[in-house]
Amino acid sequence: MEDTTGSNPQSLGFTEKLKSWLSWSWTYVCFIWFGMVLIMIYVLWSPLKLQETLTSASVFLNTLTPKFYVALTGTSSLISGLILIFEWWYFRKYGTSFIEQVSVSHLRPLLGGVESSSTTGLFSSVNGEAEPRPSVSECKVWRNPLNLFRGAEYNRYTWVTGKEPLTYYDMNLSAQDHQTFFTGDTQQLRPEDAVMQKAWRERNPQARIRAAYQAIEMNHECAAAYVLLAEEEATTITEAERLFKKALSIAGKDVNLLVYIKRRLAMCARKLGRIKEAVKMMRDLMKEFPLLGMLNIHENLLEALLELQAYADVQAVLAKYDDISLPKSATICYTSALLKARAVSDKFSPEAASRRGLSTAEMNAVEAIHRAVEFNPHVPKYLLEMKSLILPPEHILKRGDSEAVAYAFFHLQHWKRAEGALNLLHCTWEGTFRIIPYPLEKGHLFYPYPGCTETADRELLPSFHEVSVYPKKELPFFILFTAGLCSFTAMLAMLTHQFPELMGVFAKAFFSTLFAPLGFFADKMESFMPSSFWHQLTRI
C-alpha cells in the first residue's frame, strides 16, 4: 500500500509535466502545421496535378448560374439563423452561450486553459491582499427570518390568483429544516415522531395535515404536530396563534421546539397589531437563548421596532449586530441607511445639494446608501417600485434577488413613512456602481459580488417572477457572431438575387485577391530553391 501511494505523486508529476509541455508546445504547433501544409502543397503541386484541378474547378464555378449562389447564401443564412435562435434561447435559459460552454469545457484544457475551480481559490480584499474566498458561505441559502404562514398567507394567495408562490425547491428546504429541527435524537424516536418525520417529507399539503392528525391520535401531546397544523391548516393568524399556544403548553424542554414556537407566536402578535407584546417576546427570546444568533431573531425585532418608530431602540440593536465580525444582511445594511437618510431626507434637495455641496450628515447618509446597495443591488428597484413585489420565499440567498424581495416586502412601508427617504435613495443609489470596480474582481466595502446568485434565486423564486440579475450579462461573443453571420449571408443572398452579374464579378475579384498571397508565396519559393532540389524531392 505504501509503494502504491508513494508512486502516485510521481505519476501525477509526470502527467502534469506532460500537460504543461503540450500546453507550451500548442502555441507553436499551429504555425508548424501551417508551414508544413504550405510545403506539402508546393511539393505535390506537379505530382497531383493541382494546377489542372484548380483550372477545372474554376471552369466549373464559372458555369454555375446565379441561382446557385442565391441558394448557397440563402442556405447559409438559414443555418446561421437557426444557430442564432438556439444560442439566444440557451442564453436566456442558462445565462451562457452553448458554443462557448462547450468550447471552455472541452477545448480549454487542451489549449492549456486554467480550470475554473482553481481560479476561485483566492480573491483580492479591499486592501488588495489575497485572501481565501468564502465561496460556500457566499452562496449559502438561509431561512427567511420573516417567512409567512403557509395556511394563513401563502395559500390565500394561491386561492385568489391561482399561482403557487413557493417553489418545490424552497418547500423541500423547509421540509429538511423541520426534520432537522424537530426530530431530535433519531435513536429514541417515538411512534408519533416517526410519523411526523414522514409528514415533513410529504409533498402533498393534505397528506402532511393527515399525518399530523395521525400523530396527535397516537399522542395528544405531540407538539410538532400542532406546529404543522398551525403552519399549514390554520387559515387565519388568530387560528395559527391558538395552535401555537397549544403546542407551547406541551412542548416540554425541547429547546428547538420552544425557540421555534415562541418566535412564531411573536410573529403572530406582530401581525395582529400587538407590536409591543411582540417586541417583548422577541427580546425575552434573545435573552433566554443568546447563542441562537444564527436564527436572526434580531431581524424580526428590527422590523417590529421600526413599526413602533422606536428609532433609538433600532439604533441600539444595529450597534450590536452591525459588526464587522458578524455576517451582514440586507436588513442590517438598509436599516442603517434608513436611519441615516431619515435624519436629512426631509430637507434634502438635489438642486440645493449640487449648488452648495453635501453636508456631513448628508454625506453619511449617501455613503450608507452606497454601502447597502453594494451589499444587495436588487433592493432599490423594489423600494422605488420600479419592479413589482411578490410574496417572499421561505428561504433567501444573501445579496440575491430573493433577499431583496423579502426585505422590500416587509420594509417598504418603513421607507415610505420616513419623509423624503425614498427620494434620497432615488437620487443616490445608482452612484454606487461608479464606486464598485468593474469587472467585479474586487469589492469596495464587501467581498466581490458572488456569481452564483442568479441560479439559486431562480430555484427559490416562482417562475412567474422575473429574476433580477446583477451585473447585467453582456451578450456572448458567439451570439453576436452568429447574428452578424446571419445578417451578412442574408444580405449576400439578396444582392446576388437582385444583381447576379455584378455579384459574380465581385466574387471572382474577391477569390483572386484571397489566393494572391498563396501564388506569390509559391513563386518566391520556386525562385529561392534550386530546381534540382524540388525535382529530387518530388521523386522521393
- Can you give the CATH number for the domain in which 266 is found? 1.25.40.10
Q: Domain end: 291, 316, 341, which one?
A: 316
Write down the mean pLDDT value for the chain. 78
Question: Which structural domain range is residue 293 located in?
Answer: 143-316
Over residues 445-460, mean pLDDT: 77
Within a domain: residue 385?
yes
**Residues 431 and 470 occupy one common structural domain:** yes
Over residues 270-280, mean pLDDT: 95
- Whether residue 483 has pLDDT greater than 60: yes
Q: Which three cell numbers stand for residue 195?
A: 410519523
DSSP for 59-73, please give it. HHHHH--HHHHHHHH
Within a domain: residue 99?
no
Within a domain: residue 397?
yes
**Which residues have C-beta within 8 Å of that of residue 165, sequence separation ≥ 6?**
154, 157, 158, 390, 391, 393, 462
Q: In the beta sheet, which residues pair with residue 123?
A: 131
- Whether residue 352 has pLDDT greater than 90: no
Within a domain: residue 113?
no
Contact 261, 247 (CB under 8 A): yes
**Residues 474 and 336 occupy one common structural domain:** yes
**Residues 290 and 370 occupy one common structural domain:** no
Rounded-to-integer distance, Cα 468 and Cα 188, Å: 46
Over residues 501-525, mean pLDDT: 71
Within a domain: residue 133?
no
Over residues 467-486, mean pLDDT: 71
**Residues 150 and 197 occupy one common structural domain:** yes
**Residues 309 and 336 occupy one common structural domain:** no
**Residues 380 and 250 occupy one common structural domain:** no
Within a domain: residue 7?
no
Within a domain: residue 51?
no
Of 266, 328, 258, give the one whose Cα is nearest residue 297: 266
Q: Which three cell numbers stand for residue 150?
A: 403557509
Band (117; pLDDT cuts 50, 70, 90)? very low
Within a domain: residue 85?
no
Over residues 190-215, mean pLDDT: 89
- Whether residue 392 has pLDDT greater than 80: yes
Across 178-192, 205-219, 257-271, 339-353, least confident range: 178-192
**Residues 147 and 278 occupy one common structural domain:** yes
- Whether residue 281 has pLDDT greater than 50: yes
pLDDT value at residue 76: 77
Task: Work out the number of other CB atoms within 10 angstroms of the CB of residue 364.
Answer: 16
User: Strand, coil or helix: what is 396?
Assistant: strand
**Residues 340 and 464 occupy one common structural domain:** yes
**Residues 299 and 376 occupy one common structural domain:** no
User: Strand, coil or helix: what is 11?
Assistant: helix
Structurally, how many domains does the chain consist of? 2
**Residues 309 and 327 occupy one common structural domain:** no
pLDDT value at residue 126: 36
pLDDT value at residue 533: 53
pLDDT value at residue 485: 73
Q: Percent of the chain at pLDDT above 90?
A: 34
Q: Domain end: 285, 301, 316, which one?
A: 316
**Residues 260 and 395 occupy one common structural domain:** no
**Residues 331 and 283 occupy one common structural domain:** no
Across 125-129, 176-180, 195-199, 207-211, least confident range: 125-129
